[in-house]
């Protein structure tokens, strides 16, 4: 449940004019304004499962977008029940939109593709049908090598740009040049994984392999491991073990129980296993560059400690 300075799950990833949002917890419409993300950007929303704390904010967000004049279409992805949920809100609270909003009922697999950006859904182990998401950014080529282009007598200019972007080009004499002839090895993709709500499971381990960032729930510490198993959640220790075994770059622990107040017990347990662990905060910002290097550019809001509560 939401507490002071800590709302429910809603994670936004910005990339080349797109905003991809994962889950839409209560009060996301206000948080998106506080984060300065705008209301009329190219956008897609991915819902992990049909539990209230992950989607109660969606109707309010759609209404806010309409009131503020959004015109760009919006795609929403999630379990098939999401279609009925949106229809029910349309009929009972007069939820109309000024823009095209399409809800997609999805199964595991690639559900979104936009040039070098892709999102793959995978099944996780919660209570009922639940999904995690793997976002990848795969550049089509490696570094452009001007000396090779010159050796092949490719005129400097637009043809160089096309080859650097992964396109074949044809020279005046009819010779076709492929990007691999003038570029270095293709780099590993930048990969960001969102666990949704889940017990530790093999699908999450596989998705997390070599992830740049793993954003994972950590509802409990090991002290309450029995509750985690019973309620379909994870401990900080279990998620840190997955991060360590999967060669993750940065582990971001989120969605922890209010019983841990400021979450420092969760953070300590995670860092004991995997040093590159941080605790998610509302309005935290993490910059990931094209080489997969990450920087926390804004630490976010800190909830009160148990002594302040």
Instruction: Summarize pLDDT for 24-40 with one digit per residue, the tens.
Output: 999 999 999 999 999 99
Look at residue 94 and tell me if it is in a domain: yes
Look at residue 285 and tell me if it is in a domain: yes
How confident is the model at residue 37, as a pLDDT? 96
Look at residue 243 and tell me if it is in a domain: yes
What's the domain count of the chain? 1
Look at residue 79 and tell me if it is in a domain: yes
H helix runs in the chain, sequence order: 28-34, 52-55, 57-67, 81-92, 146-151, 158-164, 202-208, 225-231, 236-245, 264-273
SS3 109: strand
Count of residues making up the chain: 309
Exposure b/e, 191-219, CB count within 10 A at least 16 = b: bbbbbbbbbbbebbeebbeebbbbbbbbb
Measured CA to CA in angstroms, residue 267 lies from 14, 169, 219 at distances of 26, 51, 11
199 in Cβ contact with 281 (< 8 Å): no
Instruction: Summarize pLDDT for 212-265 with one digit per residue, the tens.
Output: 999 999 999 999 999 999 999 999 999 999 999 999 999 999 999 999 999 999
Look at residue 89 and tell me if it is in a domain: yes
CATH of the domain at 25: 3.60.15.10
Residues with a known catalytic role? 53
Instruction: Summarize pLDDT for 93-141 with one digit per residue, the tens.
Output: 888 899 999 999 999 999 999 999 999 999 999 999 999 999 999 988 8
Look at residue 157 and tell me if it is in a domain: no
Distance between CA 215 and CA 204 in Å, rounded?
11
Distance between CA 218 and CA 224 in Å, rounded?
11
Cα of first residue to Cα of last residue in the chain, in angstroms, is 15
Look at residue 232 and tell me if it is in a domain: yes
Confidence of residue 307 (pLDDT cuts 50, 70, 90): low
- 301 is written with which tokens? 């809001």
Instruction: Summarize pLDDT for 262-299 with one digit per residue, the tens.
Output: 999 999 999 999 999 999 999 999 999 988 899 999 99
Domain residues for 217?
Answer: 11-139+187-298
Look at residue 215 and tell me if it is in a domain: yes
């Amino acid at each position: 449940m939401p507490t002071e300075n800590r709302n429910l799950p809603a994670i936004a990833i910005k990339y080349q004019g797109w905003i991809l949002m994962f889950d839409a917890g209560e009060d996301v419409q206000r948080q998106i304004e506080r984060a300065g993300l705008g209301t009329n950007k190219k956008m897609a929303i991915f819902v992990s499962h049909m539990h209230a704390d992950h989607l109660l904010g969606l109707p309010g967000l759609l209404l806010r977008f309409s009131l503020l004049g959004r015109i760009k279409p919006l795609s929403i992805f999630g379990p098939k029940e999401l279609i009925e949920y949106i229809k029910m809100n349309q009929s009972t609270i007069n939820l109309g939109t000024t823009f095209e909003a399409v809800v997609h009922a999805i199964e595991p697999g690639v559900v979104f593709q936009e040039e070098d950006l892709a999102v793959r859904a995978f099944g996780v182990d919660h209570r009922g049908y639940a999904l995690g998401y793997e976002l990848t950014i795969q550049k089509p080529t490696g570094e452009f090598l001007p000396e090779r282009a010159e050796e092949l007598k490719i005129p400097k200019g637009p043809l160089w740009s096309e080859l650097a972007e992964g396109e074949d080009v044809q020279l005046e004499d009819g010779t076709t040049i492929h990007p691999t002839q003038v570029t270095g090895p293709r780099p590993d993709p930048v990969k960001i994984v969102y666990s949704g709500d889940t017990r530790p499971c093999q699908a999450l381990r596989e998705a997390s392999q070599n992830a740049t960032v793993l954003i994972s729930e950590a509802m409990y510490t090991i002290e309450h491991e029995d509750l985690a198993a019973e309620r379909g959640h994870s401990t900080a220790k279990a998620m840190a073990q997955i991060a360590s075994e999967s060669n993750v770059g940065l582990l971001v622990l989120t969605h922890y129980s209010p019983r841990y107040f400021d979450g420092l017990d969760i953070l300590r347990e995670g860092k004991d296993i995997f040093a590159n662990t941080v605790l998610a905060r509302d309005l935290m910002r993490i910059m990931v560059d094209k080489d997969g290097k990450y920087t926390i550019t804004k630490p976010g809001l800190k909830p009160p400690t148990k002594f302040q509560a």
